[in-house]
Amino acid sequence: MMKILVPVKRVVDYNVKIRVKPDQSGVDLANVKMSMNPFCEIAIEEAVRLQEAGTATEIVVVSIGPAQTQETIRTALAMGADRGILVKTETDMEPLGIAKVLKAVVEEEKPDMVILGKQAIDGDNNQTGQMLAALLGWSQGTFASELSVDGDKLNITREIDGGLQSLKINLPAIVTTDLRLNEPRYASLPNIMKAKKKPIDEKDLADYGVDAAPRLEIVKVTEPAEREAGVKVETVADLVDKLKNEAGVL
């Protein structure tokens, strides 16, 4: 039977309008609502569906971040995960550092599959899953929009620029989730209450002895340029004239 590890990330809630710090050093996180990364919710949902189908026996959720990240893990437990691991750090982790920690967790937990979001909506790096697969030497199926288990293999449909690609990969494997894989459930109140009793194992980043030092330096973060107001035109001829002579696209 199958054990699944699901890494999740705590990010600024997708409904929140992001504010840049006055010194342009980054995004202002003070008094901002934080939530689970939406792609991570899809990963948890897929793992829970595999468990409900009798394919998976245990779902372990792991997150790396400050103490408040425990709230994100509790959300995953309320959705159906069995237990959690919090790797505590105040460091703003980069994808390579996260992948190194996850590799250490995988070696401890020995899951058959790791399902994680294809990217987080804060950094939009889209790197952690691929880096983890490379570090472990595991098969990988990225941008999955369909997933099924076939013995010791996975059938995956990937979303690519030209359409869809079908893969059959060997377990153990890394799968990263795309938007159309599923519709995550809302945690019910009884499950939220049950999640409070599910175990969360707290570790420190130092426990894993990985080199998580930053490789990148943020030079400046700025707001996007304000969009100029549009104009209305009276006729098609006016539109063509503006596209040709003002926009220069014809």
* Domains annotated on the chain, with CATH: 2-219 (3.40.50.620)
Q: pLDDT at position 232, please?
A: 87
Q: pLDDT at position 142, please?
A: 94
Q: Please tell me the distance from the alpha carbon of residue 81 to that of residue 48, in angstroms, as a whole number.
A: 7
What does the pLDDT look like over 114-151, one tens digit per residue?
A: 999 999 999 899 999 999 999 999 999 999 999 999 99
Q: pLDDT at position 212, please?
A: 85
SS3 content of the chain, % helix, strand, coil (to 5): 30, 30, 40
Q: pLDDT at position 118, please?
A: 95
Q: Please tell me the distance from the alpha carbon of residue 63 to that of residue 77, in angstroms, as a whole number.
A: 12
Beta strands in 51-152 (DSSP E): 56-65, 83-88, 113-117, 139-150
What does the pLDDT look like over 74-93, one tens digit per residue?
A: 999 999 999 999 999 988 88
Q: Which two three-digit tokens encode residue 209? A: 């002895």
Q: Please tell me the distance from the alpha carbon of residue 107 to that of residue 53, in angstroms, as a whole number.
A: 26
What does the pLDDT look like over 210-250, one tens digit per residue?
A: 888 888 888 998 888 888 888 888 899 988 988 888 877 77
Q: Is residue 246 exposed (0-12), middle (13-18) or buried (19+ Cβ within 10 Å)?
A: exposed
Q: Which two three-digit tokens encode residue 7? A: 């890494």
